[in-house]
Homo-oligomer: A and B are copies of this chain.
Amino acid sequence: MLCKERPISGFTVRFANDDKTVQVRPGSLIVDAIQQAGLEVNIPCGGQGRCGRCAVIVEQGQARRRSTVRLSPQDIEEGYALACQTVIESDLTVTIPPQEKIERRLKTDKTAAKIALPFPYDCERDQPLHKVFLHIEPPNLADNTDDLSRVQRELARRHKLDSITTDLPVVRTLARTLRAADWEVTAVLEAPLVANGAAHLIALEPGDQTRNLWGAAIDIGTTTVTVYLVDLLSGEVKEIAADYNGQIARGEDVISRIIYATKENGLQDLTNLVTGTINRLLAQACRRQSIEPTQVYRLAVVGNSTMIHLLLGLPPEPIRLTPYITTANFPPGVRAHEIGISANPQAMVDCLPGVASFMGADITAGVLSSELDQTDKLTLFMDIGTNGEMVLGTAEWLVSCACSAGPAFEGAGVEHGMRATLGAIEEVWVNNDTFEPTYRVIGNEKPTGICGSGLISLLAELFITGVMDRAGNLKLDLGSPRVRLGPHGPEYVVAWANEAADGQDIALTKVDVDNLLRAKAAIYAGFSVLVKSVGLSFDDVEQVLIGGSFGQYINVEKAIQIGLLPDMAWDRFHYLGNTAARGAYMALLNSDARQRIADIARRMTYIELCADNSFTEEFMAALFLPHTDAARFPSVADMMAQQA
């Protein structure tokens, strides 16, 4: 008993925040001490040092980290160590941080960018939209001036705004609004488009409405539509609403949408579907702020060129036919009512400019938002959505290409795929020995499906733990009930029916795996061709800026393990969140930013991969995990060697 209580060469480990102390044998891992103390720590990867979930803080004493794979230099300095990978070498004082804290610290984890003001903003100075409160003299027999002239007269008299112009739909509202509001109204005005031009009256609201002014930035993805509701007085994003693009029902990628658009009424149908989605999201966001969508007076819209064509009702056929021509890369401004958007009917909808058929405004906005157009560093900007677009360059030059990744990473086209929303499995760890998974669900609910980051994570884990071979074949002979033959071939069950929200097994099938492999291969091949096109290699790239609504959830390590991202030092990768929406938001706030996007669109060179044989070669070579040429992924090779 003495031996047990005071073992020779044993160490004392105290858990500071739990007020417990245990004695351990030399050579023990911190995870052993934690279990001995009856405390809990997550080890979803089965103690392989891969997930970083078991990170603890060594407050005092000596410990040897066998792996620091999940830890940054700063983490190490602050005492972080992975419990499953750290050998106790003296008496220790250890703190087990709350799990949430760990998740926030893990540098390769989901880091949804907070929507901060991108620059100092002053509504009066920056915003072309203004409201003016008017007290208009009511008419009488001695002064039978017409309604419109009364409004114009008051704006000229009190606000020095001469020869205001307006449009029919506004004039249609004047008589009733003026009388219902007893001649006290708020004029909503757009600044002149040209110097010495006339301001344009776009609406008249009853009463004094000068204390609110709303706009929206909209990113139309092939798969996901995102709406930012923006308070144009403060410049702040007040609400974000996102949902699948209603067009998905008519085809999952841009090519199938374009083909659908050539059918009778197909174009109109697609236009209606996307405006339906936008209107639903706008209504949702407005409801949360207790305003009406008709109070939204300006919208900046980005999307790939096909999405913009379908929104505007432009026939998209020439986009998919050589030589791949858009109708307009710089679409004309339109009023909301012209395209069925349920903001204020006269709200200006500004579809930002793109570059080519497969290099749209989502990317020019992304470049703006990433500030690639103003940096000295050689930067690779990428936006991974249904399409993968990449831009390489500096403030001096910009070259770009695009590849069709398909919607797999957005959770579509995968049997149990879903968007990164409540109930989505966003991260998976597979135990090396048991092949049992551990997963994290957004909102800590019962899982409904797997989102993009979850799919990448799952694919990487299945590969690293040997459940899947390099070609993506699931091994049915592992003796695990998780790997089985399903109706669509081999599949891996992530969650059993009794754990799942809708009482059905959640599994990844071989068909899903093949979709995911094609998606990642297309993206990697794009990078590769782009970098080579300017005679450079990945090593020359100083930073990789990852945008896109999906990009923000990618785990770099996992993405490298499956060969989606090139094998570069993790600290060169930066997540920027939804750069497309953010670029639209910037353009909505400020005309300089709007001008920068136009400049970016004008000076960006676009490489057409469809006309490039080297792309096909790169794509075929990238259909393996992580790649046919394992030498391109040394860090993955190292890890595989460690596992083996």
**Alpha-carbon distance between A149 and B147 when the two chains are bound, in angstroms:** 41
CB closest chain-B residue, reference A606: B144
Chain B contacts for A168, CB-based, 8 A: 312-313, 331-332, 334, 338-339
Give A174 to B316 CA distance when docked, in angstroms: 11
A139 in contact with B332 (CB, 8 Å): no
Contact A144 B318 (CB under 8 A): no
Nearest residue (CB) in B for A312 is B168
Q: Does A141 contact B (CB under 8 A)?
A: yes
Residues B174 and A327 in contact, CB atoms below 8 Å apart: yes
**A140 close to B (CB within 8 Å):** yes
A613 at the interface (CB under 8 A from B): no
Bits for A171-199, please: 1 = Cβ < 8 Å to B, else 0: 11011100100000000000000100100
A538 within 8 A of B: no
Tell me if A79 is interfacial: C-beta within 8 Å of chain B.
Answer: no
CB-CB < 8 A to A331: which residues of B? 168, 171
Contact of A166 among B144, B332, B608 (CB under 8 A): B332
> A327's contact among B148, B318, B322, by CB below 8 Å, is which?
B148
| Contact yes or no, A146 B325, CB < 8 A | yes
When distances are taken between beta carbons in the complex, the residues of chain B under 8 Å from A330 are 146, 148-149
- The residues of B that contact A634 with a CB separation of less than 8 Å are none
* A175 to B145 alpha-carbon distance, docked (Å): 46
Q: Which residues of the partner chain B approach A147 to less than 8 Å between Cβ atoms?
A: 318, 325-328
Question: Across the interface, which residues of B come within 8 angstroms of A144, CB to CB?
Answer: 323-325, 356-357, 606, 608
CB-CB < 8 A to A149: which residues of B?
328-330
Q: Does A438 contact B (CB under 8 A)?
A: no
Bound Cα distance A545, B401 (Å): 73
* Cross-interface CB contact of A139 among B171, B194, B323, cutoff 8 Å: B323
Q: A26 at the A/B interface (Cβ < 8 Å)?
A: no
> Does A314 reach chain B (CB closer than 8 Å)?
yes
Q: List A residues 331-368 near B (Cβ within 8 Å).
A: 331-332, 334, 338-339, 356-357
A167 near B332 with CB under 8 A, answer yes
Most buried by B among A168, A176, A312: A168
CB-CB under 8 A from A179, the residues of chain B are 318
Is A127 in the interface zone, CB < 8 Å from B?
no
A319, chain B: closest CB distance, angstroms = 9
- For residue A166, give the distance in angstroms from its CB to the closest CB of chain B: 6
Expressed in whole angstroms, the Cα–Cα distance for A148 and B165 within the complex equals 27
Q: Find the residue from A141, A144, A176 having the highest chain B CB count within 10 A.
A: A144
Q: Which residues of B lie under 8 Å from residue A315 when comparing CB positions?
A: 172, 175-176
When C-beta atoms are compared, the residue in chain B nearest to A141 turns out to be: B323
A172 in contact with B323 given A166-B332, A167-B332, A356-B144 (CB within 8 Å): no
**Closest chain B residue to A196 by CB distance?**
B194
- Counting chain A residues whose Cβ lies within 8 A of the other chain, the interface size class is 35 or more
Known interface pairs A314-B171, A315-B175. Does A165 touch B332 (Cβ–Cβ under 8 Å)? yes
List, in ascending order, chain B residues with CB within 8 A of A139's CB. Answer: 323, 325
CB <8 Å contact, B171 and A608: no
Interface residues of A (CB under 8 A from B): 139-141, 144-149, 165-168, 171-172, 174-176, 179, 194, 197, 312-315, 317-318, 322-332, 334, 338-339, 356-357, 606, 608, 611
Q: Which of B312, B317, B326 contacts A172 (CB 8 A)?
A: B312
A322 to B144, CA, bound (A): 10
Report the separation of the CA atoms of residues A168 and B311 in the bound assembly, to the nearest whole angstrom: 11
Contact A175 B318 (CB under 8 A): yes
Provide the bound-state CA to CA distance between A328 and B174, in Å.
9
List the 5 closest pairs (A to B, CB-CB), nearest first.
Answer: A148-B328, A146-B326, A141-B323, A146-B329, A139-B325
Inter-subunit contact B197/A312 (CB<8 Å): no
| A167→B313 CA distance, assembly (Å) | 13
Closest CB of chain B to A449's CB: distance in Å? 38
Q: Which residues of B contact A314 (CB under 8 A)?
A: 171-172, 174-175
Assess A608 versus B318: contact at CB under 8 Å? Given A146-B326, A147-B325, A327-B171.
Answer: no
**CB-based contact A140/B171 at 8 Å:** no
What is the bound-complex CA distance between A136 and B547, given in angstroms?
A: 38
Are A322 and B141 in touch, CB under 8 angstroms?
yes
Most B CB contacts (10 A, CB to CB) among A167, A175, A315 go to A175
Chain B residues contacting A324 (CB-CB under 8 Å) are 141, 144
A141-B175 contact given A328-B146, A328-B147, A330-B148, CB 8 Å threshold = no
Which residue on chain B has the smallest CB distance to residue A165?
A: B332
| Residues from chain B with Cβ under 8 Å of A146 in the complex | 325-330
Q: How far is the CB of A394 from chain B (nearest CB, A)?
A: 24
Residues of B within 8 A of A176 (CB): 315
For the complex, give the distance between the alpha carbons of A175 and B144 in Å: 49
What's the Cα separation between A442 and B140 when bound, in Å?
47
Cross-interface CB contact of A175 among B172, B194, B317, B608, cutoff 8 Å: B317
Q: How far is the CA of A606 from the CA of B145 in the complex (A)?
A: 11
- Rounded to whole angstroms, the CA-CA distance of A461 and B323 in the bound complex is 80
A313-B172 contact in complex given A179-B318, A328-B149, A332-B165, C-beta closer than 8 Å: yes
Contacts A149-B328, A167-B334, A175-B317 known; list 15 others, CB within 8 Å: A141-B608, A144-B324, A144-B606, A145-B325, A147-B325, A148-B327, A148-B329, A149-B330, A168-B332, A171-B312, A171-B328, A171-B332, A172-B312, A172-B327, A174-B328
